[in-house]
Amino acid sequence: MTQSAQATMAETAPLLDGTPGVIADWSSDQRAFKKTPWGKAMMWIFLLSDTFIFSCFLIGYGTVRMSTTIPWPNPSEVFALNVGGVHVPLLLIAIMTFVLITSSGTMALAVNFGYRKDKMTTFWLLLATAVLGATFVGMQAFEWTKLIVDEGVRPWGNPMGAPQFGAIFFMVTGFHGTHVSIGVLFLAIMAVKVIRGKMDREEPGFMTGRKQDYGMVEIMGLYWHFVDLVWVFIFAVFYLW
């Protein structure tokens, strides 16, 4: 009650746009993020911190790769696949990229249909996103197996070149894969919540008295798009370099 009363009071004053709006919003001594549910603001701030974690990995990787005097294994060759006798460079990674982009699209649509209160469509789109995410993790497991078993890549060395390659590869893709796996889990949970009509009836959530609404699907979407975003950077600087 107090929160909504505060919000109403704060929102009666006209809001400014542009740079004066930034200053007014931050100095208003109430809520900095107007018209943003706190859950969404918190998710954004979490994603900001995650940005720094992944950036530390990628910058560390760049520094290590620049500083090694032994040639770095060529990712184009390491991740190539033979399809019907044809040697295609980086094929598996390209397919994984397309799978993740596709899942990002279904997630964006799920958010959209959620706000339309279209329960069934939202459910199926969330499920499709989860399945595509699981497919991605499966392909990553295949890739790891291929590298560990067939090519003898270890965190401390590999037959192809600079020994740091394995350490960086397992660390970066492992951390990203963990993010995808957690995302798949929460997508499944969210899909079940939607199909059970928890959002429509605004029932309190598990372990909280807060009412659930379709804004939760948007917050879930932010996380999922972020995972896709991180892959864009990993794909560019790890696989294409």
Measured N-to-C along each axis, helices 119-145 and 215-234 cross at an angle, to the nearest 10 degrees, of: 30
- Output the smallest distance, CB 43 to another protein, in A: 10
Instruction: Indicate the helix (H) or strand (E) that contains 87.
Output: strand 86-88
Dihedral pair phi/psi, residue 16, rounded to 5°: -90, 160
Question: 204 forms bridges with which residues in the sheet?
Answer: 211
Residue from the set 98, 142, 151, 178 that interacts with another protein by CB under 8 A = 98
Binding test (CB under 8 A) with another protein, winner from 78, 90, 168, 172: 90
Binding residues for another protein restricted to 130-189, rule: CB under 8 A? none
Cα separation, 238 vs 60, whole angstroms:
12
Strand partners, 86: 83
Within 25-84, which residues bind another protein (CB under 8 A)? 25-26, 32-37, 41, 44-45, 47-48, 51-52, 55, 59-60, 62-69, 76
Q: Which of 13, 53, 182, 236 binds another protein (CB under 8 A)?
A: 236
Segment 180 to 209, residues that bind another protein, using CB under 8 A: none
* Two structure tokens written together for 177: 């894969």
Structure tokens at 33: 């993020």
- The residue whose two tokens read 């709006």 is 21
Minimum CB separation of residue 108 from another protein in Å reads 5
Residue 4 CA to chain centroid, in angstroms? Answer: 31
Contact residue for another protein among 97, 129, 164, 173 (CB under 8 A): 97
Phi, psi of 154 (to 5 degrees): -130, 160
Rounded CA gap, 126 and 193, in Å?
11
Q: Please identify which residue in 158, 164, 198, 218 interacts with another protein, judged by CB under 8 A.
A: 218
In the complex, least distance from residue 4 CB atom to another protein, rounded to whole angstroms: 7
Beta carbon nearer to another protein, 40 or 148: 40
- Among 42, 53, 182, 240, the residue binding another protein under the rule CB under 8 A is 240
Backbone dihedral angles phi then psi of residue 10, each to the nearest 5 degrees: -65, -30
Q: Which of 57, 78, 107, 147 binds another protein (CB under 8 A)?
A: 107
Site residues (CB under 8 A) for another protein, limited to 1-30:
4, 7-8, 11, 15, 17-19, 21-22, 25-26
